[in-house]
């Protein structure tokens, strides 16, 4: 039962609650609908994606890193919660930020208790959290070029990667062992020593990458797993329904995993 729950992004507690029951009662037609939507979403993508790229599947809360056409790394991520979804977009990483500060967007409420606990201070009307291991961005930020303030970053709450349901952020993507991932990218791009010095400084430092690394933020709740079988997840954002209707399926609501607002962060 827990394995089934993990497969569908439901809290793996072994209890047959409403979400688990919804998965258990899925019919062949429901799976056909999911597969049709997944194939349609893939049709939207380029048939020749960049050989070196990072793919984030927000439906499954997983990251895959391809280099020269080969899958070389896979890791868990935390993505946006429903109503604060991680948007589907293509946007490259162009620099690494060591020991980042975090400027809290106006859209995220900040309590007095949070200001005290996070040692925040005001700059130009915004709350800013200083660098350090307790920073909401952790110890590394992967800056990306887009107009939606979406990026990859570390986290001060790595224990959350142990959850089956990882749709918990305000839209940005938190990466498991982000420091290890940053070191790998920096080494492969020839700036490993520069990055290591910046990270060890303990202060805010920027390391430009010699070339941009494309990132695709995708949404696939049916995909081919490592063992060659088709894996399914829930539809956490409820995005499949509109596509399914356009494909001619009945307007049946998809199964959605429910997120819990348990921390403050991007």
The active-site residue, picked from 153, 167, 170, 220, is 153
The active-site residue, picked from 167, 170, 172, 220, is 172
Give the H or E element holding residue 241. helix 240-246
Is 54 exposed, middle or buried, given 0-12, 13-18 or 19+ CB atoms closer than 10 A?
buried
Is 153 catalytic? The answer is yes
**Cβ density class 211-246: b for 16+ within 10 Å, e for less:** eebbbbbbbbbbbeeeeeeeebbbbbbebbbebbee
Cα-flanking dihedrals φ and ψ of residue 171, to 5°?
Answer: 130, -35
Give the H or E element holding residue 126. strand 126-129
Find out whether 190 and 61 touch, Cβ atoms under 8 Å.
no
Q: Catalytic site residues?
A: 153, 172
């Amino acid at each position: 039962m827990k394995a089934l729950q993990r497969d569908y992004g439901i809290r793996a507690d072994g209890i047959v609650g409403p979400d688990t029951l919804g998965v258990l009662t899925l019919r062949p037609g429901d799976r056909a609908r999911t597969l049709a939507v997944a194939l349609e979403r893939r049709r939207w993508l380029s048939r020749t994606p960049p050989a070196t790229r990072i793919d984030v599947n927000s439906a499954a809360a997983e990251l895959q890193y391809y280099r020269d056409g080969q899958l070389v790394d896979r890791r868990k991520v935390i993505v946006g919660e429903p109503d604060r979804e991680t948007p589907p977009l293509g946007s490259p990483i162009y620099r690494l930020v060591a020991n980042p500060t975090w400027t809290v967007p106006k859209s995220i409420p900040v309590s007095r208790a949070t200001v005290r606990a996070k040692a925040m201070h005001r700059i130009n009307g915004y709350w800013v959290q200083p660098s350090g291991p307790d920073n909401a961005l952790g110890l590394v930020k992967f800056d990306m070029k887009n107009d939606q303030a979406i990026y990859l970053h570390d986290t001060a709450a790595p224990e959350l990667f142990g959850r089956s349901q990882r749709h918990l952020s305000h839209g940005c993507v938190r990466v498991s062992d982000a420091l290890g991932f940053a070191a790998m990218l920096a080494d492969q791009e020839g700036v490993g020593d520069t990055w290591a010095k910046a990270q060890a400084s303990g202060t805010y430092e920027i390391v430009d990458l010699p070339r941009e690394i494309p990132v695709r933020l995708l949404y696939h709740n049916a995909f081919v797993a490592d063992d060659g079988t088709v894996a399914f997840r829930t539809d956490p954002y409820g995005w499949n329904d509109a596509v399914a209707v356009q494909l001619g399926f009945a307007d049946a609501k998809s199964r959605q995993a429910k997120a819990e607002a348990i921390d403050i962060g991007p």
